[in-house]
Amino acid sequence: GQNIDQPTEMTATEGAIVQINCTYQTSGFNGLFWYQQHAGEAPTFLSYNVLDGLEEKGRFSSFLSRSKGYSYLLLKELQMKDSASYLCAVRGWNTNAGKSTFGDGTTLTVKP
Amino acid sequence: EAQVTQNPRYLITVTGKKLTVTCSQNMNHEYMSWYRQDPGLGLRQIYYSMNVEVTDKGDVPEGYKVSRKEKRNFPLILESPSPNQTSLYFCASSPPEGSEQFFGPGTRLTVL
């Protein structure tokens, strides 16, 4: 099975940097994803890590350590529009490649 | 425009009245999934499909059925809806392994 943990809520200030952590336990691993979801809307893709290390994409970066079952999403130069829920998800492997497990999400509030 | 569509977007129904939520994608994706999302929780996978005529249970399949007769369509069927199936439902599609999922706009279902 798969189990994912991430903090429920975080608050940060506009212009600052925030790191959202995610730990996972899985019996089969085919990549870790981060999605952003604004209230009442569909999730949208932010990043994907399948190998250890840091992936950078503009203001957003994501890190993965497979040996530690750990990932984080780093948001720089925070803007008010970054207030949203951030979902960590892992994908199954091989015959379970269509299976995805999501964490409960981290609600980020950006304050002026 | 590449997209995933769901219908209806909003539905209020009564206990026991069979309903179908349609999902269609125009990106020729092999993988499709259905999720439900309840307040304060992340996405929980109901069913997924890795190709035509191939479907598998996710984490919360009880009370739901799906079919995949064509690549583009993946309807979700509630044979006898109950109030505990009141939720926000998302359909998603993706290419095979390791790729991001594209989500539909969501269907808000209320069962009285």
Cβ(A27)–Cβ(A2) below 8 Å: yes
Q: What is the pLDDT of residues A38-70, one digit of tens each?
A: 998 999 999 999 999 999 999 999 999 999 999
Separation of alpha carbons A103 and A111, rounded Å: 24
Q: Does B45 touch chain A (CB under 8 A)?
A: yes
Question: Using the beta-carbon criterion (under 8 Å), do A101 and B101 form an inter-chain contact?
Answer: no
- Of A44, A98, A105, which has the smallest distance from its Cβ to B48's Cβ? A98
Cβ-Cβ pairs closer than 8 A, A with B, add up to 68
**C-alpha distance from B96 to closest chain A C-alpha (Å):** 8
Q: Does B56 touch chain A (CB under 8 A)?
A: yes
Question: Using the beta-carbon criterion (under 8 Å), do B42 and A33 form an inter-chain contact?
Answer: no
Parallel, antiparallel, or unpaired: how do β-strands A106-111 and A9-13 relate? parallel
Nearest to A32 by CA among A79, A93, A83, A81: A93
Cβ(A70)–Cβ(B3) below 8 Å: no
Q: What is the pLDDT of residues B45-85, one digit of tens each?
A: 999 999 999 999 999 999 999 999 999 999 999 999 999 99
- Of A33, A98, A104, which has the smallest distance from its Cβ to B49's Cβ? A98
Cβ(B42)–Cβ(B101) below 8 Å: no
| pLDDT average, residue stretch A76-91 | 96
Cβ(B30)–Cβ(B98) below 8 Å: no
Separation of alpha carbons B107 and B112, rounded Å: 16
Q: What is the pLDDT of residues A7-48, one digit of tens each?
A: 999 999 999 999 999 999 987 778 899 999 999 899 999 999
Residue B83: φ, ψ to 5° = -55, -30
